[in-house]
A and B are shown apart, each in its own frame.
Chain A
Amino acid sequence: MRLRRSSLAGPAVAVAAAVAIGVLPHWLSNYHRSTGADVGVFFTAILALNIVTGYTGQISIGHGAFMAVGGYTTAILTHDHGWSDLATLPAAALVGFAAGVVVGLPALRFRGVYLALTTFAVALAVPQIAKNYPGFTGGTEGLALPTHSGLWLYRTAWVVAGIVFVAAWLLLRGRTGRAFRAVRDSEVAAASSGVSLPVYKTVAFGISAGVAAVAGSVYVLVNNFVNPDVFGLQLSLYVLIGAVVGGLGSLWGVLVGAAFVQLLPLGLTSSSLTSSQLVPVIFGAVVIAVMALLPLGAANLLHAVLHFGSRSAQSADVPLGTEGR
């Protein structure tokens, strides 16, 4: 009974969310469609971070750098080599995967805050590297890309997000996901059970970075512009905040996390109630409030709602998707 409920509820929620996202643009203005596309970009990026941080336990606060890698791949291939923009997405995923594997190497030796600082350094360095090769990246002046309608951007961002979501779900529910979680929960136990730490850590970084790179590609298409400032530190931090708000180690809260980091600051800025100097303060206060109310993120809340009545209270502490299947 219990297994049945949980195995049906998840896909049901996913299908309902997919339908809602699919029909939503009919009631949105062109502007809100591109805002919706931005939410889709963050959905993909947060999901990417979740793979390496939430599931594998390797903290990264530099995922903006991988988005930059993907964004520049798309920009350079379309701007200088005449690729059609959608064709660049697989290329961005490959380049991002390679970058992720390279950055993942320190993860073999560093843990916790030391690894976090390493990824932080990468986030700081990548925009500077882009600045130093203007012939290749357009430098500070940047590169402009073709513009698309809000509807095209919305559909592209969410189709990509949907594909990535399904792929991640398939990956994480199986053998690989189990290995990732084993690494996260206890490296010693994982290794003694035959899980190769070097392989799974670098693979997790690579996959995560590849997905983040695809998010960066779509981000660049939505903005139709790229320069180093687009991929500043703020981007990395927002992806991290979105992952924590959504719930680390679960796929189901990602939508809430994405909407949170993308729509809340925008809503505050547009609101006449707040002066712009207060926006970061309010945003920060809300983040703290959400942390206090939902320490395990939105996924945990969703889980509790879905299992209301059928599960004992202790179930609320286990985010959906991390429980053993």
Chain B
Amino acid sequence: MTRRMIGALVLAVLVTGAAVATAAFASSSATPGVSKKTITIGGTFPLTGPAALYAAIPKAEFAYFSYVNAHGGVNGRQIVFKYDDDGYNPANTVPQTKKLVEQDHVFAVYGSLGTAPTLATRDYLNKAGVPQVLVATGDSYWGAQYKQYPWTIGFQPDYPGESRVYGQFIASKIPQAKIGVLMQDDAYGQNYYNGLLQGLGDSKSKIVDVEKYDSTATDVSQQIVKLKASGANVLVLFSLPTQTIGALVVTTKIGWKPTTFVNNVSGSSLFMYLAQQAGAKIDGDITATYLFDYTNNPNAPSAKLYKSIVDKYDPGANPLDSDIEYGFASAWTMVQALKEAGANPTRASLMNALTHMSGWKNPFLYPGVTMTTTGTERFPIDQQILEQYRSGAWHPFGHIFSKAR
């Protein structure tokens, strides 16, 4: 046997043994993840892969927890936040979530991102009685299916709630509307479309055309051309960022000038910037938001706090990236829930706090948007305001649309 083979044998043995042999630390306290000095939470996020643009979110959350820890933590405990990369692939999310629960003994799984990853781990976590809280996805399952999954709760407004706002606005403010809808042909698009119909009410007869695209298709030119031909003067986009950017560019290219609504998760300033770079004329486009408007209020206390935390704890981040705002708003909510869970928090007391938000005023949300939940009403954020794109930024206008449930 050659020396190289001995080396390779050693390598093979090391590789095989390394992960298996990792020792497990058993938690001594009654509540997993809670010690005298620390409280450990964890989540899974796409740090790599197709959704890696969202990697700024856990980093921002980590930064906010660091800020809170530097100011004494929560009820004397430091927050330990472990986040793992699942690459937006549920096949990775499952073992990583099991690791967080069984190996790292987290108190709660917090903020995990994506609909499919959340669905993949929801049964496991609910059977184990582990809170799966403030998940970063806007599907309505989390708030709607609480009877079956009491340990799961979302954070942001759900998709139908958002499109309901567009429907209400169109019904009341654009009487001559002839509406064309571009939607993704899956649950995501259907969720949005159902909300739009609710919001429109009797005005739903003003929908003149609905064009669908397969979620794997990236070119939506055909659909946009058909929508223009239908005579629509209002265009509502329920699409993902890539298709949204494409739709905005094609609309401009074919000389169509409808009043355009862009859904929130595709309406980040970054994506709008990309569309503009590609030749789209997007001034006047409308979306909905629930986050604080830093662009127009740079001297507000919220904006100063935001900037100081970014500067100190998340250097290198682009403060205009709305994912950072999102991360701060979510982390603030988690800290507030941990505070209200009491001096000796349990998993049950955490869920109790999250399902009894009494109009929490989150400094990172739009002023006037409050967080309220009850045992049977489990959508933490249910208010939004419309905003219009002008000269390179979103500008909120009008009044806050409140719970319409």
Contacts and interface: CB of A to CB of B under 8 A. Distances in A.
Contacts of B120: 142, 223, 225, 227, 230
B116 A294 contact: no
Contact of B103 (A31, A141, A223, A280): A31
Contacts of B7: 293
B94 A277 contact: no
Nearest to A34: B98
Contact of A29 (B24, B90, B216): B24
Interface in B295-337: none
Given A29-B103, A144-B123, A269 B84 contact: yes
Q: Which of A141, A144, A229 has the most CB of B within 10 A?
A: A229
Of the listed residues B12, B18, B19, B20, the one surrounded by the most CB atoms of chain A closer than 10 A to its CB is B19
Contact of A31 (B87, B98, B186): B98
B124 A263 contact: no
Among B20, B94, B103, chain A packs the most CB atoms within 10 A around the CB of B20
Interface string A77-112: 000000000000000000000000000000000000
Contacts of A260: 12, 15-16
A23 interface: no
Contact of B102 (A30, A140, A259, A266): A30
A28 interface: yes
Contacts of A140: 115-116, 186-187, 215
Contact of A270 (B90, B99, B215): B99
A147 interface: yes
A270 B95 CA distance: 11
A29 B102 contact: yes
A170 B115 CA distance: 45
Contacts of A225: 90, 94, 119-121, 123-124
B161 to A, nearest CB: 19
A252 B340 CA distance: 57
Interface string A278-313: 011000001001100110001001001100100000
B172 interface: no
Given A31-B24, A34-B95, A225-B123, A263 B19 contact: yes
A277 B19 CA distance: 19
A277 B47 contact: yes
A32 B123 contact: no
A234 interface: yes
A276 B88 CA distance: 13
Interface residues on A, range: 35 or more
A147 B127 contact: yes
B116 A31 contact: no
A142 B8 contact: no
Contacts of B378: none
B122 interface: yes
Contact of B24 (A32, A224, A231): A32
Nearest to A28: B20
Given A142-B119, A276-B47, A298 B12 contact: yes
A223 B124 CA distance: 9
Contacts of B22: 32, 267, 270
Contacts of B127: 147
A286 B119 CA distance: 33
B104 to A, nearest CB: 9
A227 B93 CA distance: 12
Contacts of A319: none
Contacts of B122: 144
A32 B239 CA distance: 40
Interface residues of B, number: 45
Contacts of A316: 5
B1 interface: yes
B193 to A, nearest CB: 16
Given A35-B19, A290-B11, A304-B5, A223 B102 contact: no
Interface in A19-42: 24, 28-32, 34-36, 38
A276 B92 CA distance: 13
B89 interface: yes
A269 B187 CA distance: 32
A134 B119 CA distance: 15
A196 interface: no
Interface in A232-277: 232, 234-235, 256, 259-260, 263-264, 266-267, 269-270, 276-277
Contacts of B124: 147, 224-225
B374 interface: no
B47 A301 contact: no
B8 A294 contact: yes
B399 interface: no
B9 interface: yes
Interface string B246-267: 0000000000000000000000
A310 to B, nearest CB: 12
Interface in B370-405: none
Contacts of A35: 19-20, 95
B177 to A, nearest CB: 31
A235 B91 contact: yes
A280 B4 CA distance: 25
A289 B14 CA distance: 14
B19 A266 contact: yes
B16 A301 contact: no
B18 A267 contact: yes
B48 interface: yes
B119 A301 contact: no
B84 A276 contact: yes
Q: Which of B22, B84, B215 has the most chain A CB within a 10 Å cutoff?
A: B22
A134 B22 CA distance: 40
Nearest to A289: B11
B8 A264 contact: no
Contacts of A10: none
Nearest to A277: B48
Contact of B116 (A142, A150, A223): A142
Given A140-B186, A264-B19, A305-B9, 5 more contacts: A29-B102, A225-B120, A231-B91, A232-B89, A259-B16
7 contacts: A29-B102, A32-B103, A141-B187, A147-B127, A227-B90, A227-B120, A234-B91
Interface of B: 1, 4-5, 7-9, 11-12, 15-16, 18-20, 22, 24, 47-48, 84-85, 87-91, 94-96, 98-99, 101-103, 115-116, 119-124, 127, 186-187, 215-216
Q: Closest 10 A-B residue pairs measured CB to CB?
A: A31-B102, A276-B85, A267-B19, A263-B19, A29-B24, A144-B123, A259-B16, A225-B120, A230-B91, A293-B8
